[in-house]
Amino acid sequence: MFVLAAVLSVLLAVVGLAAGLPKALLKGSIPAQLQSPGGLSAPLVRFIGLAELAAAAGLLAGLFWQPVGVAAALGFAVVLVGAVGFHAKSGDYANPETRGNAMAPVILTIVAIAAAVTLVLAS
């Protein structure tokens, strides 16, 4: 069970790093899209990016101390649920052009919960 927990944790850590770094630095197209008119403020986008980076670090640390990994996975799931809400509010699930990108947080939420469960079972 630990191997599965490790694979899910590393996968989520890579996603958290890739998603969080541009937001934390407020560089690239994703932070710009999130800050579009009617979107999120720059400090909130930066906070979300830092939360994703913290989750990535916690998931990697959780490979050595499972309670940290469980907390990081559940925290990342909370951030992802917020992303699902943002996409729902923006109407991305109803639009066929944006639906594909909007499904990523849904799938990653399931992976984050699975990582937390496998970390608990591996300890």
More confident residue, 89 or 110: 110
Domain containing 32 equals 2-122
Predicted confidence (pLDDT) at residue 86 exceeds the cutoff of 80: yes
Determine the average pLDDT of the residues in 48-67. Answer: 96
Calculate mean pLDDT across residues 97-101.
87
With a CB cutoff of 8 Å and minimum separation 6, the contacts of 93 are 87, 99, 102
Number of domains in the chain: 1
Least confident of 5-19, 87-101, 105-119: 87-101
Q: Give whole-number Cα distances, 87 to 23, 39, 99, in Å.
A: 16, 11, 9
Tell me the mean pLDDT in the region 53-72: 96
Band (pLDDT 50/70/90 cuts) for residue 35 is confident
* pTM beyond cutoff 0.85: yes
Pick from 85, 75, 62: nearest CA to 112? 75
For residue 114, the model assigns a pLDDT of 96
Residues in the chain: 123
